[in-house]
Amino acid sequence: MSYCVLVVDDHKENSILVDSIHLMELENLDVTTVAGAELCGEVASIIHPDVIVIDTMDASRGYKSVCEKLRAHPFVDTIPLVVLSPVGAEHEGNTWVTNALNADSITDAVHSALSYLEENKTLH
């Protein structure tokens, strides 16, 4: 089974995120990238991703505010989020927050989210 991952990033020069996208593609994950959280809900309703990866490293509002805005979209509310944030690592419900120190930590968080989906049989 091929999984679909939607990556939301405002900064194309984020080399760690680019490296993690490359790793995910090598693992046969279908990766789509969108520039900006404002497009995330619309694109998610079209491509039906299994996981959304969002970079909030530069978000002045903080990752919780960004997540709340995304979760307000009717389709995104049930999709696991992998949030890249400078605040460290935590896990709550179907949201994983990881400190994006390297591409492996990002892909590990994506795999955790996919395992969660498998266990709960909620693939989109």
pLDDT at 88: 62
Contacting residues for 48 by C-beta, under 8 A, at least 6 apart: 4, 75, 124
Other Cβ atoms closer than 10 A to 120? 10
pLDDT at 106: 83
Do residues 49 and 4 lie in contact, with contact meaning Cβ atoms separated by under 8 Å? yes
pLDDT at 62: 65
Contacting residues for 111 by C-beta, under 8 A, at least 6 apart: none
Other Cβ atoms closer than 10 A to 97? 21
Digitized pLDDT (tens) for each residue of the chain, 124 residues in all: 689 999 887 666 666 777 788 888 888 889 998 887 778 888 988 999 999 988 776 555 566 777 777 778 877 878 888 888 766 666 666 777 776 667 888 888 888 889 888 888 655 5
One-letter amino acid identity for 21? I
Do residues 45 and 79 lie in contact, with contact meaning Cβ atoms separated by under 8 Å? no
